[in-house]
Structure 1
C-alpha cells in the first residue's frame, strides 16, 4: 500500500505535464533568440576589407546643400542637419526611373526621393544629438497606419528647398568576408524565430506581456471621433444651462 502511495505521488497530472512542456518550449525559444543576437553581433563586427581594384555598381542619388545656402553664414548648420536626414537611392542608370501604369499602358516615371523623417524615438534619444536650434526646423506630424491601426508620430523638415539632389557613380571600394557556417545558422534561426506563433511567444515572454483587450488603455485619438465630440458638446450645453440659472 505504501509503495502504491509513493508511485501515485510521483505521477504528474496532465496540467503539470502541459505546464512543464510549455516551459521547456519557452526555454528553447529563449536560447535560440539569445543565440541569434550573438550571431548578429558577430556578423556586424566583421571588418570591411579594401578591394585592390574598386569597381562601379550603378549610380547613387542623395541630397546636398545648395551652393547659395552653403555660402551663407548657416552653411555648416544645415550641413549638420542634412547628415541626420539625408536619404540615398540606388539605380543601374542615371535616370532613376520606375514603371507606372497609365491608361492601360506602362510608362516610365522618375522615382520620387524625399528627405528622411525623424522618428519619435530618435527625436527623444540623446544619442541622435539633435540640438534645440535644429529642432526648430522640424514639424510634428501624425500618419495613420492601417495595418497596426495606430497613429505614427514623426518629425518632418520644414525647409527642404535648402537641399538639392546630386547623382554620382556608386563605387564599391570594400567588401566584407562571409562565413558560410555562420550565415547558415543565422538564417535557420531567423526562419524559426520569424514564425507567427514564435513571434507571439517572444513578444509575450521576452519583450513583455501583450496587451489584452480588457486592459487596453483608452484611445488617445478618441477625442477626434464624432461620438466623443457630441458627448462633449452636450455636457458643455448642460453646464451653460446651470450657469444661466
Structure 2
C-alpha cells in the first residue's frame, strides 16, 4: 500500500484539509463582519425614523435668511410662476447674528464682511439629469456660464438664474419648535455595538470588506485602543507626579 501525505489523504476522504479549515474560518469571520454592518445600519435607521415631538415652549436659535418675492412682482400677473420657481431654487442661510457677517482677514486685520447668498445654481450634471424638476418655461430663465473651479482645477459649467432681481432677501428668527424623540434603549444598543467594533479594531476591516476601502476620512477615530500610548504628550513632571500618587495609594493599602 502506498504512503500518502496528510493533505493527499484529506483529498480522498471527507476530512477538511488545513487550508480549507483556515479558509472556512476566514469566511465565517467575514460573514460576521457583514452582519455587524447590517445591524449597525438597521439601528441607525431606527434612530433616524424616530418621530419629532413638539416643544411646550419653542425657543429662538439664531436667525435664518432666505429669498422672497418682491412686492411689485407679487402683485403682477406672473406672481404665481415666479413663486413656484422660487420654491425650487430658494436657498437658506443660518447665523447666530442678525447681521449675517463673517470674519475675514485683510492686511493682517480681522474685518467682518457680509455673507454672499444667491439662488440655487445647477451644475451641468444636474441640468441634464432626469430628476430636474424645472419645466421648459422655467429653464428659459437660466443662462449657461463657465467658471473656474479651484477644487477640481478646471473650468466647470453652471446654469444660473438671469432674473435674480425679482427676489429679495428676508431675515427672520429661526425658531426651534420640535425635538427628536430619545430612545435610551436604542442608544445604549448602538453604543454597545460601537464599543464592540472599536475595542476589537474592526472598523477598518468592515469598511474594507463592505465598501472596498478601509476608512472614511475624518468620520471615525481609527486609533486602536490596545495600542494607545498613555504617556503621549505628557511632561516628565506630570508622569513623575502620577508615579508618586500611585505609590502613595499602594502604600496606603
The interval holding the TM-score normalised by the smaller chain is 0.5 to 0.7
Report the Cα distance in structure 1 between the residues aligned to 2:97 and 2:51, rounded to whole angstroms.
Answer: 30
Aligned residues: 201
Q: TM-score, normalised by structure 2?
A: 0.62
Report the Cα distance in structure 1 between the residues aligned to 2:206 and 2:90, rounded to whole angstroms.
Answer: 36
2:75 to 52, 71, 75: 71
Give the CA deviation at 1:149. 6.8
Counterpart in the other structure of 1:87: 91
Counterpart in the other structure of 1:48: 52
The answer to whether the 8 A contact 1:123-1:130 is kept is no
What are the superposed Cα offsets for residues 159-204 of structure 1, whole Å, 9 maximum, x if unpaired? 2221110001111111111234545665776x97xx7776565444
Report the Cα distance in structure 2 between the residues aligned to 1:101 and 1:94, rounded to whole angstroms.
Answer: 21
The answer to whether the 8 A contact 1:85-1:118 is kept is no
Give the CA deviation at 1:71. 1.6
Report the Cα distance in structure 1 between the residues aligned to 2:139 and 2:29, rounded to whole angstroms.
Answer: 47
Report the Cα distance in structure 1 between the residues aligned to 2:157 and 2:29, rounded to whole angstroms.
Answer: 37
Report the Cα distance in structure 1 between the residues aligned to 2:105 and 2:212, rounded to whole angstroms.
Answer: 43
Tell me, yes or no, if structure 1 residue 11 matches structure 2 residue 17: yes
Counterpart in the other structure of 2:237: none
Larger Rg: 2
Counterpart in the other structure of 1:31: 35
The answer to whether the 8 A contact 1:143-1:153 is kept is yes
Report the Cα distance in structure 1 between the residues aligned to 2:37 and 2:81, rounded to whole angstroms.
Answer: 42
Give the CA deviation at 1:116. 2.3
Higher relative helix content: 1
What are the superposed Cα offsets for residues 49-99 of structure 1, whole Å, 9 maximum, x if unpaired? 111111111111111111122222221111111111211111122111111
Tell me, yes or no, if structure 1 residue 156 matches structure 2 residue 160: yes
Q: Which runs of 5+ in 2 are unaligned?
A: 214-253
Q: Which runs of 5+ in 1 are unaligned?
A: 206-245
Q: CA RMSD in A?
A: 3.9
Q: 1:60 to 1:104 in 2, by over 3 A?
A: same
